[in-house]
Chains A and B, each alone.
Chain A
Amino acid sequence: MERYVDGEAEAFEFLYRRVSPNLMGYLLRLTRNRERAEDLLQITFSKIHRARGSFLKGAPVLPWILAIARRSFLDERRSAQVRTEDLSPDGSLPEQQNEERPLPAELSDALDVALGRLPENYREAIVLTKITGLSVAEAASVLGATETAVKLRVHRGYTQLRKELEQYSRTP
């Protein structure tokens, strides 16, 4: 990060290769939409590029970048909430698609779907610690919560996940 701040293009490419899969994974689980996640990825990197001069030397890079990504997601969601909704041809509001579908047969796919059904704060805590690989302290700093709160969210989310995926533990 510091070499990138000093103007080395190769340093940015190295940083991008190291960080973008984690960041993309995090944004994908937040948005549950690949296009939105890629848009947010671009927004996040443009913010990082503009703010690179204010990066504090020696600070951990991934939590810094994930916090910027999270802020971008929250800003985007806030602006999406005030956007007008298109009516369907008969003049009614489009139906919300929130019906409970059965989980896929493959456990890894089912986990992805079940993860998407978790409440957002549980999902974020699990994604940051289990998928992105942050420590509890780093996840707490990204989420602006205490370490105890993050542990609690992970535990509750995990309990809920296990309940959803119970059928898979019974299949041999």
Chain B
Amino acid sequence: MSMHPPDPLADLPWPKPEAPSAAVSAKICGACTKNLCAKRGMSALSRLLLCLVVSGLVASFGYWFGVRHHRAELGLRLGVYAAVAWGLVQAAVLYVGFAPRRGLLGSRAVRVAVAVFLPLLFLGYLSYAAWSYVPFDQFSQGARASHAFSCGLIALGFGAIVGGSVLLAWRGTNPLTPGLSGTLAGFVGGVGGALAVGIGCPSHEAWHLWTAHGLIVLALGLMGFVAGRRLLSP
């Protein structure tokens, strides 16, 4: 029977963690303990409520705009119902995506699923809410196109306010998955902005809703991804 010598690579001698130099350690400890005082950020609940209040304010502005421009009472009421229902969805997304349970956020897979299904669900809702349809070549010209453009710009502005408030409220809290959380913040903002404009907007035309109200959600999701990587990581 032949004896094989033990393979020295069976258990590699991994380098041990090594301490930084004494001078660097002294510098860091000195800087971080000088005038050290307690520093607690806002609680998760306060941050969540702040985001919902901003979203509510933006929706109120949409309502005021609709009243001022004599939008039909039925349309206004339906818009407000939709905003309240989507407000609950926004709260759920913020809870899953941002509020930690025992220091941990919802699992990455759940948050990715939310990031995929939220815009799809919203586009589905817009398709359901569309009462009329004109061919794209008619929609893309004249008054319809300029109305969609102005609606889209306002929705983008409102969405940026809501999404920005989410990013600022949770600023520096998530170095682990800032891009994913930023995308969720963008989607929440996009839905908030699109609904606020939807309360005041009289159009129920399918192309108008998909482009001026729906595409904004996707665009803000993308912007949220970029901004989140900057703002959510300390």
Q: Is the CB–CB distance between A16 and B25 below 8 Å?
A: yes
Which chain B residues border A112 with CB–CB below 8 Å?
15
Q: Is the CB–CB distance between B21 and A38 below 8 Å?
A: yes
Annotate A22-36 by CB proximity to B: 1 below 8 A, 0 otherwise: 101100110000000
Q: Is the CB–CB distance between A20 and B19 below 8 Å?
A: yes
Which chain B residues border A162 with CB–CB below 8 Å?
9
Q: Is the CB–CB distance between B29 and A168 below 8 Å?
A: no
Interface residues of A in 1-43 (CB under 8 A from B): 4-9, 12-13, 16, 20-22, 24-25, 28-29, 37-38, 41-42
A7 to B29, CA, bound (A): 13
A25 to B35, CA, bound (A): 29
Q: Is the CB–CB distance between A71 and B9 below 8 Å?
A: no
Interface residues of B in 1-28 (CB under 8 A from A): 5, 7-9, 12-21, 24-25, 27-28
Q: Is the CB–CB distance between A111 and B18 below 8 Å?
A: no
Cβ of A58 within 8 Å of any chain B Cβ, yes or no, is yes
Q: Is the CB–CB distance between B179 and A144 below 8 Å?
A: yes
Chain B count of residues within 8 A CB distance of the other chain: 43
Least distance between B20 CB and chain A CB atoms (Å): 5
Which chain A residues border B38 with CB–CB below 8 Å?
5-7
Which chain A residues border B172 with CB–CB below 8 Å?
51, 54
Which chain A residues border B176 with CB–CB below 8 Å?
63-64, 67, 141-142, 144
Q: Is the CB–CB distance between B17 and A131 below 8 Å?
A: yes
Q: Which residue of B21, B24, B36, B173 is within 8 Å of A54 (Cβ)?
A: B173
Q: Is the CB–CB distance between A16 and B28 below 8 Å?
A: yes
Interface residues of B in 106-122 (CB under 8 A from A): 108
Cβ of B31 within 8 Å of any chain A Cβ, yes or no, is yes
Q: Which residue of B5, B27, B103, B173 is within 8 Å of A60 (Cβ)?
A: B103
Q: Is the CB–CB distance between A141 and B177 below 8 Å?
A: yes
Q: Is the CB–CB distance between B31 and A49 below 8 Å?
A: yes
Assuming the A-B contacts A64-B175, A144-B179, are A42 and B24 also in contact, with contact meaning beta carbons closer than 8 angstroms in the complex?
Answer: yes
Q: Is the CB–CB distance between A53 and B41 below 8 Å?
A: yes
Q: Is the CB–CB distance between A25 and B15 below 8 Å?
A: yes
Q: Which residue of A38, A46, A58, A132 is within 8 Å of B103 (Cβ)?
A: A58
Q: Is the CB–CB distance between B40 and A5 below 8 Å?
A: yes
Q: Is the CB–CB distance between A165 and B32 below 8 Å?
A: no
Which chain B residues border A20 with CB–CB below 8 Å?
19-20, 25, 28
User: Chain B: which residue is nearest A42 at the CB level?
Assistant: B28
Least distance between B113 CB and chain A CB atoms (Å): 14
Which chain B residues border A64 with CB–CB below 8 Å?
175-176
**Contacts A56-B44, A165-B12 known; 11 new A-B pairs at CB < 8 A:** A7-B39, A16-B28, A22-B17, A25-B15, A38-B20, A48-B32, A58-B102, A111-B12, A112-B15, A131-B15, A169-B9
Interface residues of B (CB under 8 A from A): 5, 7-9, 12-21, 24-25, 27-29, 31-33, 36-41, 44, 100, 102-104, 108, 171-173, 175-177, 179, 233-234
Interface residues of A (CB under 8 A from B): 4-9, 12-13, 16, 20-22, 24-25, 28-29, 37-38, 41-42, 45-54, 56-60, 63-64, 67-68, 71, 107-108, 111-112, 115, 130-132, 141-142, 144, 146, 161-162, 165, 168-169, 171-172
20 intermolecular pairs with C-beta atoms under 8 Å apart: A16-B28, A16-B32, A25-B15, A25-B17, A29-B15, A41-B20, A42-B27, A48-B32, A48-B234, A54-B171, A56-B44, A57-B100, A59-B103, A67-B233, A68-B175, A68-B233, A107-B8, A108-B13, A131-B17, A144-B176
